[in-house]
């Protein structure tokens, strides 16, 4: 009986000691698992944040490029429309000059004068649009010079002076076209800055 009690006591003591060792090992392994999980979660969050920042930067660049291209196309349209309006106005003024030489009080002269008024208003409207979208003072000066040169054609004293003023008008218009083309080709030129997203 005493032997049996001794065996039971030894067994109980060994079992308790083993449970303590197991609990100690379980605690160590549990902390390692916790640290491993924390590192994994931190890595995932860092990776997600980095990916988001790169994607945001790429999206901002793409949006900025799209805005710059839209502005370039709008300027191309406005500059082309202005050059076309000046060309049409020049044609109308030359026609008016010849009608005035033929019969200053005739019906054809009055019709040509009305047409010149219409073309002049169209050229002014195209000039306003060009100024609004350009923001380039040098290009605006070239546009003004072309407009003024067109107006001077009607005051030519004779055919020789008419041809000279036509040629000068064409020169000023070509200077405007060259300036506009240079601005459209160069994103760093005046007036070509695009505000950042959200501005």
DSSP letter for 189, please: S
Task: Please identify which residue in the block is written with the tokens 């902390």.
Answer: 31
Say whether pTM exceeds 0.75. no
CA nearest neighbour of 176 among 83, 87, 99, 90: 83
What local confidence, expressed as pLDDT, does residue 73 receive? 93
For domain 70-185, give its CATH number from 3.40.50, 1.20.120, 3.30.420, 2.40.30. 1.20.120
Token digits of residue 128: 């306003």
Rounded distance, CA 6 to CA 110, Å? 136
Mean pLDDT per 10-residue run, the chain (199 residues)? 46 48 55 73 74 67 79 94 97 95 91 96 96 92 96 94 96 96 74 37
């Amino acid at each position: 009986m005493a032997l049996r009690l001794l065996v039971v006591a030894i067994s109980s003591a060994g079992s308790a000691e083993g449970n303590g060792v197991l609990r100690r090992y379980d605690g160590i392994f549990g902390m390692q698992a916790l640290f491993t999980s924390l590192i994994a979660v931190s890595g995932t969050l860092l990776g997600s944040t980095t990916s988001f920042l790169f994607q945001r930067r790429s999206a901002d660049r793409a949006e900025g490029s799209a805005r710059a291209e839209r502005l370039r196309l709008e300027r191309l349209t406005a500059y082309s429309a202005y050059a076309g309006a000046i060309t049409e106005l020049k044609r109308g003024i030359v026609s008016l000059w010849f009608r005035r030489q033929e019969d200053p009080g005739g019906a054809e002269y009055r019709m040509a004068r009305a047409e010149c008024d219409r073309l002049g208003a169209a050229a002014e409207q195209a000039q306003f649009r060009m100024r609004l979208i350009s923001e380039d003072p040098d290009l605006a000066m070239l546009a003004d010079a072309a407009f003024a040169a067109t107006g001077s054609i009607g005051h030519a004293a004779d055919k020789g002076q008419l041809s000279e003023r036509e040629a000068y008008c064409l020169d000023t218009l070509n200077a405007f076209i060259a300036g506009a083309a240079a601005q459209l080709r160069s994103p760093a030129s005046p007036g070509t800055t695009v505000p950042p997203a959200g501005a």
